[in-house]
Amino acid sequence: MSKQPAVEAEYDVVVVGSGVAGLTAAVVAAKQGLKVLVAEKAELFGGTTAFSSGGAWIPNNPYMASVGQHDTPEEAYTYLRATLGNSYDTDLVEAFVETGPEMLKFMDEKTKVRFYPVLLPDYHPGEPGAKAARTIIAEAFNGRELGDYIRHVRNPLPGYVAFGSFQTDMQHVPKLTSAFRTWEGFRFSAKRMAGFVRDVVTYGKGTHMAHGNALVGRLMRTALDAGVTLRRDTPAVRLDESDGRVVGIVLEIGGQQRTIGVRNGVVLASGGFGANLEMRAKYIPLAEDHLSAQPAENVGDGIRMGQGAGGVFAEPNISNGIWAPCSAHRAKDGTIKSVFPHFGPDRGKPGTIIVDTEGRRIGNEASPYQEFVSHMNASGIRKAWFIGTKVALRKYGMGVAMPAPLPYRHLVRDGYLIEAGTIPGLAHKLGIPKANFEQTIARFNEFAARGEDPDFGRGSNSYDNAQGDFNHTPNPNLAPLDRGPFYAIEIHPGDCSTTLGLKTTPDGQVLNAESQPVPGLFAVGLDMNSLMYGRYPGGGSSIGPALVFGYRAGRKLAA
């Protein structure tokens, strides 16, 4: 095990957690001359961010023009008023929208973080003020620049990464999936695989970092260059207070509790409460059936400590989590090996459908994940089946089954993929009413052949289309399921993060019962109550605010 840096007796700032929000606050504070410690509870850095696709929703970002898009703060406000409704918090929204471009300028000029835009439409494209390309993604990063730290960064979830740690950027997927069909694909794939093998021998894992991993890697490299001390396996126990001010924090270091003095403040960025069973039972609907794709360490430590210092835990949001339909890849004994959130790129592809346990469709399969699972929650749908043709499975992938040429038969053998040659045969294997299922498929196939979905409107808007295949006609989201074999994956309502957290000022200062800041205490990321109150206006509506309010907290700490 790699040697960890020593922990000194006192710092200007201690950050609890190493996801995007905590690392951003640490970097901004350190760049302004403060002495900063990041204490990560887990054995691996990166938090929920490392699991994620890494998208950040930043309205009026400077990258939009490069893909022919234009935005203004006023249009962003209009869109957020429409999507947030009565949950629109003027102070927080204005701080977010106005500071986003400033934060990106800081990242571009002062850090290793680099972004590129994606032409992803906002998730409610019919609302006034909606745009495309408000979502940006971190450019890939060479993890070798982290040295030995690369060994201790959390890998993406299985299904979003091959061979355990082989990562790739979305624009390179077509080359990798054509490795045995085109010379360009073969040459590119062979070069990437050779580098991956070398990295595994040297570092024990691949070092090409993409998406959320790239964002973590770039922030970590910047933090190290700025003199930030990064500690893993260092849980925060409690805050140390004096005369109503947070003046230190008790950390567990090498099995011993130590009180670390803090001059400027503590930043709580521990990832929310997604793995806390008691809190899940209280705040997550259908909690006993919800699958969570969150790190096991996210048990609400920051929220607990913040409340202990007088901070106020917000009232339940419109949704207390970021929802996504999820599937579980299980071991032979039934234990869960990994959870896969079906965000949309597989659900929205032609040749797929989702039905409930009665064999009926439950909605627009290509719709935004937050809305899709909100409907499951409201309707009490605890289990459903995600079904596709073999063409869809091999061309696009389904869940942890990645596209060809990667293998999939092992997933049939272990029960993750349920295979049948016919629709009646699949109904029998799934235990759903055969007549209902056949009727559903026949009706869907008729619609798909025409390229329309009168029942649920799948493929009728720009967001849906972005999840589909633009080379498929007449509708990028629809194709009949008329030729076997067919494959099914059991899915459940699930979540990839929580939204319910501590009330704060626009600078991340934790508020007490009198709506006054608790001196020396900040909360950002998932420990801060969501700016969106559980709505999800666009791709990266969790990471975008994490960057902005992490930036604002770091700036305030040095003020």
58 band by pLDDT with thresholds 50, 70 and 90: very high
Alpha-carbon gap, residue 250 to 190, rounded angstroms: 49
| Nearest Cα to Cα of residue 554 among 110, 123, 48 | 110
Alpha-carbon gap, residue 378 to 427, rounded angstroms: 25
Alpha-carbon gap, residue 509 to 245, rounded angstroms: 12
In sequence order, what are the beta bridge partners of 257? 252
Is 84 within the bounds of a domain? Answer: no
- Last residue of some domain: 460, 492, 524? 492
Render pLDDT for 452-461 as a digit per residue (tens, 0 to 9). 999 999 999 9
Structure tokens belonging to residue 489: 């994956």
Tell me the average pLDDT across 278-283.
98
Residue listed under structure tokens 């666009």: 538
Give 205-255 as a DSSP string: S--EE-HHHHHHHHHHHHHHHTT-EEESS--EEEEEEETTEEEEEEEEETT
Structure tokens belonging to residue 507: 């600078």
CATH number at residue 421: 3.90.700.10
Render pLDDT for 483-493 as a digit per residue (tens, 0 to 9). 999 999 999 99
Tally Cβ neighbours within 10 Å of residue 302: 32
Q: What is the mean pLDDT of the chain?
A: 96
SS3 per-residue string spanning 149-164? HHHHECCCCCCCCECC
Contact residues for 86 (Cβ-Cβ < 8 A; gap 6+): none
Instruction: State residue 183's pLDDT score.
Output: 81
- Last residue of some domain: 433, 460, 492? 492
Is 223 within the bounds of a domain? Answer: no
In sequence order, what are the beta bridge partners of 13? 36, 265
Tell me the average pLDDT across 158-175.
80
Alpha-carbon gap, residue 328 to 288, rounded angstroms: 14
Percent of the chain at pLDDT exceeding 90: 90
| Nearest Cα to Cα of residue 557 among 14, 7, 5, 1 | 14
- Number of domains the chain contains: 2
239 band by pLDDT with thresholds 50, 70 and 90: very high
Angle formed by the axes of helices 90-110 and 543-557, nearest 10°: 80
What are the residue ranges of helices labelled H in 59-158?
Answer: 73-84, 90-110
Render pLDDT for 431-440 as a digit per residue (tens, 0 to 9). 999 999 999 9
Stated pTM of the model: 0.96
Tell me the average pLDDT across 523-548.
98
pLDDT of 62 higher than 70: yes
SS3 per-residue string spanning 489-500? EEEECEEEEECC
Range of the domain at 198: 168-205
Three-state SS at 435: helix
Is 278 within the bounds of a domain? Answer: no
Tell me the average pLDDT across 5-22.
98
Burial of residue 510 (number of CB atoms within 10 Å: 0-12, 13-18, 19+): buried
Tell me the average pLDDT across 313-333.
96
Is 79 within the bounds of a domain? Answer: no
Tell me the average pLDDT across 126-152.
97
Instruction: State residue 166's pLDDT score.
Output: 81
Instruction: State residue 299's pLDDT score.
Output: 98
| Nearest Cα to Cα of residue 506 among 461, 451, 545, 475 | 545
Indicate left, alpha or beta for 271 from its phi (over 0: left) and psi (-120 to 50: alpha): left
Render pLDDT for 384-408 as a digit per residue (tens, 0 to 9). 999 999 999 999 999 999 999 999 9
Instruction: State residue 194's pLDDT score.
Output: 86
Is 454 within the bounds of a domain? Answer: yes
Instruction: State residue 162's pLDDT score.
Output: 79
Q: Assess whether 334 and 463 both reside in one domain.
A: yes
- Last residue of some domain: 148, 178, 205? 205
Alpha-carbon gap, residue 152 to 88, rounded angstroms: 39
Instruction: State residue 167's pLDDT score.
Output: 84
Alpha-carbon gap, residue 188 to 172, rounded angstroms: 9
pLDDT of 1 higher than 70: no
pLDDT of 471 higher than 70: yes
Give 340-365 as a DSSP string: EE--STTTTSTTEEEEETTS-B-S-T
Render pLDDT for 78-130 as a digit per residue (tens, 0 to 9). 999 999 999 999 999 999 999 999 999 999 999 999 999 999 999 999 999 99
| Nearest Cα to Cα of residue 207 among 152, 137, 136 | 152
Instruction: State residue 421's pLDDT score.
Output: 98
Is 115 within the bounds of a domain? Answer: no
Is 394 within the bounds of a domain? Answer: yes
Is 481 within the bounds of a domain? Answer: yes
